[in-house]
A and B are shown apart, each in its own frame.
Chain A
């Protein structure tokens, strides 16, 4: 049988399809692919992020003609939060010389980390991905600012402990988490802290397939009555958890989440969700000149898919923040490399020299938008402080000062994890990239 006649026919067809795509990018623009997911079970979280990332970069093109006078070619690739499709996206954008990739999924990030140094494309996994990649000397091509999940956990515990984790002695703390790499990563640290400080830790894993069915976990939570409940959820898991908390009359101000729940997640649970808290490091709302420019030049001009009330939501602004990092890295890269059309290697150097302080934020029209960020060759994360914001039924209200991470506890964990990663992946390349820090 000519078993693969169809195969080769499809192959030839696909080959002819794949080729024209590769040569489309003009030489005088900077290619920034955005991996997004507007479909699938995580679309609820993915869509506002995709809109925010897309709109800020488009706004730069419209307002400033790109960065440093060079237009950005912004291109979305739909991953559906699926690792296989993410890799397909990566392979499809690679021939177009992307200067940076944003995987927006821990699974895709893990697959791309080993490729980054070989393909010379830096990875920006903003506050997700592999926590250990904060170590720039082991992961020169991977960046996860502004804080890791371990930082986030220590910040939540410090906050509920009233400024010190040690105050939690004798309490019971619940941990409701997405049972995959992301939610599981903080557990060893959580357990070590429970032992050291002397609080009781109760784990409530939610399997990815059962994100919208958490009744079993909440039955346990009702029984255990934890003093505080820490939530690490994503996609459809967040609104479900908040709804269940309301249904089970769990005191909302005792439910503190990592930075991922969006406005819509809290709003979907109705008035009962009032008092729900989460970490954040950037502003919500639209009261910033840059966001006004987005409204005027991008959304009103019909160059975006953003629905009217989405701008200003937590995850929309998170997407904007992600693009601010991209833009700042490119601008910094242009400065360091002394040329306008930068490459992935230049942007890597830019990402290592980010210094987004209050003055810089003001200059780009985002005064008081975010906490300062400072990366170095050794520190690809900046381990920023975050604040706690509370849902008042219609918007988020900032209810705490900045809470910094428990560096003394987080730092050794990151060192150890980074070392273990390099050891387990025999032949992990030693850093040869030069450092531009002054």
Chain B
């Protein structure tokens, strides 16, 4: 049996429910501007503290998001700046490779070096080009700076190159002046952990000065002529007075090579020296031309001296008075523009440039 108080409570509950439902339905079906006006009034009066609280929370969230975004941007910038020098270096190397490919007068295949465990551990390199791309066994591998090595094994889509640091690597070479021939091989005595090359089999009489560029000679049928191999940086040993062995600073570093060119045409077809106009090569060519001019100058001087001597001897043999005595200048060769003012006798050509 329901008590009177319970019945009264029940009626009150129903009344409250009907009141709330009625108000809700009124708000629901009333014109929209009315509802907005009521909402605006409530927001600015009774609910103002709650709105203020929510605004602070939204500000905190947005500022936290902004702060996080700024941190992300800063981290990204720092991360990218770490790679910027290496990216620039790689970009420059790729540009050099492009320039080299334009200068090469032989066909080639570009390849990427796929595996470089350490900066200086480049005895063998895995290349991204194989027989499908046209790479063959013993194809020379070059970088913009010079010779890297040769292909030692080929598969369909990759190949293995033996770099100059490999103990079995040999290349026939000559100095850029052409005065010394020999064989370049890896040196066992690298300086400061760096790999080095030896220019072996140079005759004792053919001395090579420091800084001379050594190029591949094209002999042997593997490497074309004219690829820079290294620069002479010292003498390793002299053997029994008949041979000198020079230390070379390698032209190209296989440990840091990321992109290379594999030459695929006949190695003896053309001279590639023009494709590698490095500073040392240009300097060597310049020195060579100066030496050639000096040689010509000294020859002209010798001719002039011989003529003058002949005239003197003729004059001594037949002392006929003449009205116009011949000048030693007349009849001589014109002075060379390269002749220095202090040169009085025949200038001797540098030993590294004499053939």
A binds B: no
